[in-house]
Structure 1
Amino acid sequence: MTAPLPPLAGKLAALRSSAIRDLLKLTARAEVISLAGGLPDAELMPRERLAVAADNALRRAGVLQYTESPGWAPLRAVLAERESARLGRTVEVAEVFVTHGSQQALSLLAEVLLDPGALVVVEDPAYVGALQVFRAAGARIVAVPLDAEGMRVDVLKELLARGERPAFVHTVSNFHNPGGVTQSAARRRELAELAAAYGFWVIEDDPYGELWFDRPAPAPVATYAPNVIRLSSASKIISPTLRVGWMVAPDPVCRAVELLKQGADLCGSAFTQQIATELLADETWLNGHVDTVRNAYGERAKALVHALRTTFGDRLRCTDATGGMFVWADFTDGTDTDLLLPRALAAGVAYVPGSAFAVDGGYENSMRLCFTTSDAATLATAVDRLAGAAG
């Protein structure tokens, strides 16, 4: 008789799989046009330039060896220079920490900044990857709604006035995932002022900031206060497979994260970090490459929004995609997007229902649509299929 396996940790009971990752399994069929996954377009990734950088990296001593836990020193120097330009102040190398994608930074920060039961404030609808991390950390999560100008800082102010004291506030300030909106400059400044006044951290999660279409996003929240931790990544502008993300934070936070990273994976990949260093330092090439990505995504975003508004009319409202990778849409006639999804998949189109991003329920009539991996004609076909499924 086989003995039962020992139990797993009790905290796993509060976790659930990402609906988006689960949905990707269903959209692998070639006949399905997927607007579900938040994937950059592989056809726009710079394969030839990556190959050159990889060959150059392999010629260096130590490239196949372990590297420093905070990241390869030349990469941190390049990132410090880039972030200095973004923030309008000198960012020291000691303030830069390289992680295995920005998702690892979120996970390590949750361990550094949260005790079980600590309050975390997130935007609603919320980035699913952040919710998974904060739930695993045993945080108490309170959601603040979004509108066209990003996080409703007035609602946050009301929470603070009632005596709530978050350990940190998490915001995707630029081209929000999934909401598709960008936080206004006034709200960024007000959020930073509240953080300074009430003594909480802000985690500014910014993987999409360079993917603007018509004009750059406002200055980062981190411009206005020292207790803002800024996250970014090379995944959306170069390639996810590099797994190069970074954090800009005060030195004590970086040192605490270093202790935990050593226990998690010792260090990142010297190989991919050296590749990323060469590409990020080559400003002339990088600027041209990112312009190409912006132009392609901008055309696709406008095509998707046009098709949605032309096809559905007043039956559906959607955001104006001014950057990033996503459009958020709301049916105004009560259409339940969870119930619609099986019919949409049968018709050959996929999206992510809004309920996947809800903190405490809701968004049954909403959906997130990703426009990055299809051309304008394919996006128009996807919307026609969606309309057919919706009836």
Structure 2
Amino acid sequence: MSATFPPLARRLDGLQSSAIRDLLKLTSRADIISLAGGLPDAELMPRDRIAVAADAALSDRSRLQYTESPGWGPLRDVLAARESARLSRAVPVEEIFVTHGSQQALSLLSEVLLDPGALVVVEDPAYVGALQVFRAAGARIVAVPLDAEGMRLDVLRELLATGERPAVVHTVSNFHNPGGVTLSPERRRDLANLAEQYGFWVIEDDPYGELWFDRPSPEPVAAYSPNVIRLSSASKILAPTLRAGWMIAPVQVCRGVELLKQGADLCGSALTQQITADLLSDTEWLTAHVDSVRQVYGTRAKALVDAVRARFGDRVSSTDAAGGMFVWAEFTDGTDAQALLARALEFGVAYVPGNAFAVSTDYTHSMRLCFTTSDAATLDEAVARLAKAHAATPAQP
């Protein structure tokens, strides 16, 4: 006899699995070079240093207990010092909240800041994780396009001039995922001013800010206004498995997040937060480690961009990777990137088609390429395979 179950919540209506996560299932074959995943390189993760920190944390059994919902106190102290230096102002510990990765912070903030139907402005192309969170919250999503200097604030101003009042504007300010661009210093100040003028929150999502190649990232948007909530993470500079993210926000926002987090998971992992605090506070070691990661990623980014331009010429335009993990590329010859993907997989290479990040523009001819997990020679081979797949695909009408 087949079971008949009660219905699930209506909030699930219309939600779909991330196209990127689904694609990763197809790219696990050893014969495929994947430019699809947004993963840091495991070979660059400080396994031995993490082991030392874990051993130190495990030396005291009391540290295996639950910790406070806002995060382990010493980690919050370390983060307050780091963020104070980053924002060029004193950030009190009360404004630091540790979460299970910055994605959890984004999810909890959507519950604290958004009522169903509230307007959220995102960038187009958009970070998929943000779209999933805001759609689950029942938000009304409007997209503002990117250009070489990040979110186009002229378009945001036009939206505001029509009388629209967003509850939240979300931006990936540094080395955008997937767009690869960085919000310019002038636009950072202007966005903060607009937030105060029109009374909305800015969520500044910044997991990549320390992964710059040629010059440091600009001062965060959060440096210019208390209306800006800043998110960051140890996943890209240390290891995703630590699941250590954090939020810098006014105390009343932190208290709201705390109430919801208590209902979700009570608290994070005291063990991994102690390990994270150990590594982040070891400033001499951390500086050398992050410098090494930057050097490797910078070399790989250049190799990928050079290979794309050498193999495709003016048939593809791409961003110059100045940091982060991604290159955004667009076919100028009418190639449908989604249609090309099936042929590319046959030739042993994968990428994410641009339509996976689309909100109001379909990005039919675009693709996101990740350079972090392959060396320069492998990246060149990946682009060679992509060029062969492109040549073997009938021209688009």
TM range (shorter): over 0.9
1:127-276 equivalences in 2 (<5 Å): 127-276=127-276
Deviations 1:290-349 (A, max 9, x none): 000000000000000000001100000000000000000000011001100010011000
Q: Is the 8 A contact 1:14 1:136 kept in 2?
A: no
Aligned to 1:89: 89
Aligned to 1:353: 353
Q: Distance in 1 between matches of 2:253 and 2:328?
A: 34
Consecutive aligned runs of 4 or more in structure 1 exceeding 3 Å deviation: none
Aligned to 1:66: 66
Query: Residue type matched to 2:266 in 1?
Result: L
What secondary structure, in the 3-state scheme, does the structure 2 residue paired with 1:213 have? coil
Query: Residue type matched to 1:65 in 2?
Result: Q
Unaligned runs of 5+ in 1: none
Q: Is the 8 A contact 2:124 2:360 kept in 1?
A: no
Query: Residue type matched to 1:143 in 2?
Result: A
What secondary structure, in the 3-state scheme, does the structure 1 residue paired with 2:216 have? coil
Q: Distance in 1 between matches of 2:341 and 2:310?
A: 21
Bigger mean CA offset, 64-73 vs 2-11: 2-11
- For these two proteins, the number of residue pairs brought into alignment is 391
Aligned to 2:394: none
- Once the two structures are TM-superposed, the CA of residue 371 in structure 1 deviates from its matched residue by 0.1
Q: Distance in 2 between matches of 1:289 and 1:60?
A: 27
What secondary structure, in the 3-state scheme, does the structure 1 residue paired with 2:146 have? strand
Q: Distance in 2 between matches of 1:195 and 1:240?
A: 31
Please state if 1:47 is matched with 2:21: no
Bigger mean CA offset, 162-171 vs 60-69: 60-69
Q: Distance in 2 between matches of 1:360 and 1:163?
A: 20
What secondary structure, in the 3-state scheme, does the structure 2 residue paired with 1:207 have? coil
Aligned to 1:390: 390
Query: Residue type matched to 2:293 in 1?
Result: V
Aligned to 2:379: 379
Q: Distance in 1 between matches of 2:283 and 2:67?
A: 25
Q: Distance in 2 between matches of 1:329 and 1:14?
A: 29
Q: Is the 8 A contact 2:124 2:361 kept in 1?
A: no
Q: Distance in 2 between matches of 1:32 and 1:91?
A: 46
Q: Distance in 1 between matches of 2:112 and 2:279?
A: 31
Please state if 1:106 is matched with 2:106: yes
- Once the two structures are TM-superposed, the CA of residue 272 in structure 1 deviates from its matched residue by 0.2
What secondary structure, in the 3-state scheme, does the structure 2 residue paired with 1:14 have? coil
TM (normalized to structure 1)? 0.99
Aligned to 1:116: 116
Deviations 1:71-111 (A, max 9, x none): 00000000000000000000000000000000000000000
Q: Distance in 1 between matches of 2:386 and 2:63?
A: 48
Aligned to 1:300: 300
Q: Distance in 2 between matches of 1:186 and 1:9?
A: 43
TM (normalized to structure 2)? 0.98
Q: Percent identity?
A: 77
- Once the two structures are TM-superposed, the CA of residue 62 in structure 1 deviates from its matched residue by 2.2
Q: Distance in 1 between matches of 2:99 and 2:334?
A: 42
Q: Is the 8 A contact 1:204 1:222 kept in 2?
A: yes
Deviations 1:123-166 (A, max 9, x none): 00000000000000000000000000000011001100100000
Aligned to 2:395: none
1:283-294 equivalences in 2 (<5 Å): 283-294=283-294
Deviations 1:207-241 (A, max 9, x none): 00000000011100001111100000000000000
Q: Distance in 2 between matches of 1:188 and 1:103?
A: 22
How large is the RMSD of aligned CA atoms in angstroms? 0.6
Q: Distance in 2 between matches of 1:158 and 1:366?
A: 26
Please state if 1:328 is matched with 2:328: yes
Q: Distance in 2 between matches of 1:360 and 1:161?
A: 20
